[in-house]
Amino acid sequence: MGTRNAAHSRGGIDSDAITRIEDAASVVRLARTNPSCSDALIAAEGELSIAAQSANDLGVSWQTIGETLGVARGNAYKRYRRRPVTETDSHSSSLAPPRRPRHKPDCQI
């Protein structure tokens, strides 16, 4: 993929952040191919979201994040940006550590 080479040519932290996004996106794609992997898909999508947010926090542009994922900059921003905590969120367990998925025996990721 040409985007990978362009993003990795910068080296350093940006490169690591892009690699994390690519790896998480690969797991999401794999999980989507197996309907029995719904828990793994939820976990993988969460990891992808965290990877994109972390990359942006490190200074990676939404343009680069979008190119890495094969989506437009605006779509990457809308989907993966950090959202402010709302009144209803503060009453939920959003601060709890992420739940580890229970992988079903036939889920091969």
Distance CA 39, CA 36 (A): 8
What are 43-77's pLDDT values in tens digits? 999 999 999 999 999 999 999 999 999 999 999 99
pLDDT of residue 83: 78
Give 64: exposed, middle or buried? Use CB within 10 Å, 0-12, 13-18, 19+: buried
Q: Which pair of tokens denotes residue 44?
A: 């993988």
Integer CA distances (angstroms), 105 to 26, 39, 40, 41, in order:
20, 12, 12, 15
Q: Which pair of tokens denotes residue 80?
A: 């993966």
For the chain, the distance separating the N- and C-terminal CA atoms, rounded to the nearest angstrom, is 22
Give this prediction's pTM.
0.69
